[in-house]
């Protein structure tokens, strides 16, 4: 016999629907072929025999790209490295300034002869700053020192900042391809911009309508089944399709989900998958009529 529902209590008169009706009300079935979760209302009217296979129901989603939740331009270096880099830049500016000022005094350049650096004393510091910032941005600068100490200082400036630029660029490239680990809990899921949905089943509608814990209730009311709006219940293929597209978490039985994922995801997409438990459910059990003579036989065999 087949039923399209596990079975929920309709009322005291008509009892349960679906598979539960076949076992309890009409007694046309002795044993449930599909396992049932333990509900408080079911325990007095049926017996549970055994677990057939572990059943895990969780939110499954792809972790968002790092670029989606963070500013990539500040991530390549730690805060200490940024401070050290700022200090190095200041040091290079003053070093270049000192060398250029010493060169100017040594050569005693006149206004007419000054072709490399601006004539005003105050402009030496400006030139040193622009030279360093040009090196920082991997650009050239038209004013360069004439003597060996100045040239060595300039070479050190460009070499130092070139290595920093290469390291920064390499890390940015890696980060662009990285997934984040920003969502690891139900609270993260609630506060994220990720959309949520659940598989279209009776047990989801029952569980979500009866949840009382504040965090879980907020997730249901804000993201899955907002009051006055159409609940976000989807069939399996559509839900996994949205997971693949990203920024969507789908509450589903993982065995079924992974079967579809194995056929539709490429390996790189599978690497970013993550799951979060919502209900902390136990496993479902095969159910049998209350006080059935087959109960002990099925438990043993």
**Which tokens in the block code for residue 221?**
């009311």
pTM, 2 dp: 0.62
Where does a domain end: 140, 160, 176?
176
**Calpha distance 92→127 (Å, rounded):** 12
What mean pLDDT is reported for the chain? 81
Buried b (16+ CB within 10 A) or exposed e, 102-123: ebbeeeebeeeeeebbeeeeee
Does 176 score more than 50 pLDDT? yes
Note whether 152 and 6 are same-domain residues.
no
Note whether 162 and 107 are same-domain residues.
yes
DSSP 188: H
Note whether 38 and 96 are same-domain residues.
no
Does 109 score more than 70 pLDDT? no
Does 92 score more than 70 pLDDT? yes
Closest CA to 6 of 21, 18, 22: 18
Contact in structure between 253 and 55 (CB atoms under 8 Å) = yes
Structural domain count, the chain: 3
Closest CA to 255 of 60, 22, 49, 95: 60
């Amino acid at each position: 016999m087949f039923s399209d529902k596990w079975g929920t209590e309709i009322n005291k008169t008509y009892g349960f629907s679906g598979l539960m009706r076949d076992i309890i009300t009409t007694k046309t079935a002795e044993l449930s072929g599909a396992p049932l979760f333990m509900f408080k209302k079911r325990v007095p009217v049926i017996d549970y025999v055994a677990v057939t296979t572990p059943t895990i129901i969780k939110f499954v989603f792809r972790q968002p790209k790092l670029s989606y939740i963070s500013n990539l331009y500040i991530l390549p270096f730690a805060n200490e490295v940024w401070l050290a880099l700022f200090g190095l830049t200041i040091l290079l500016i003053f070093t270049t300034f000192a060398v250029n000022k010493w060169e100017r005094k040594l050569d005693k350049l006149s206004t007419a002869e000054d072709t490399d650096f601006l004539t005003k004393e105050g402009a030496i510091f400006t030139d040193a700053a622009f030279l360093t910032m040009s090196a920082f941005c991997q650009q050239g600068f038209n004013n360069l020192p004439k003597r060996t100490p100045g040239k060595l200082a300039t070479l050190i400036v460009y070499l130092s900042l070139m290595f920093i630029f290469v390291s920064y660029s390499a890390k940015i490239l890696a980060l662009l391809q990285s997934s984040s680990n920003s969502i690891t809990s139900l609270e993260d899921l609630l506060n994220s911009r990720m959309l949520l949905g659940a598989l279209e089943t009776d047990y989801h509608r029952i569980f979500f309508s009866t949840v009382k814990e504040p965090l879980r209730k907020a997730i249901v009311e804000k993201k899955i089944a907002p009051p006055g709006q159409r609940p976000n219940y989807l069939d399996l293929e559509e839900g996994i399709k949205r997971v693949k597209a990203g920024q969507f978490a789908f509450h589903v039985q993982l065995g079924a989900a992974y079967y579809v994922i194995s056929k539709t995801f490429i390996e790189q997409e599978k690497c970013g998958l993550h799951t979060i438990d919502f209900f902390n459910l136990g496993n479902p059990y095969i159910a049998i009529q209350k006080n059935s003579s087959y109960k002990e036989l099925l438990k043993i065999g």
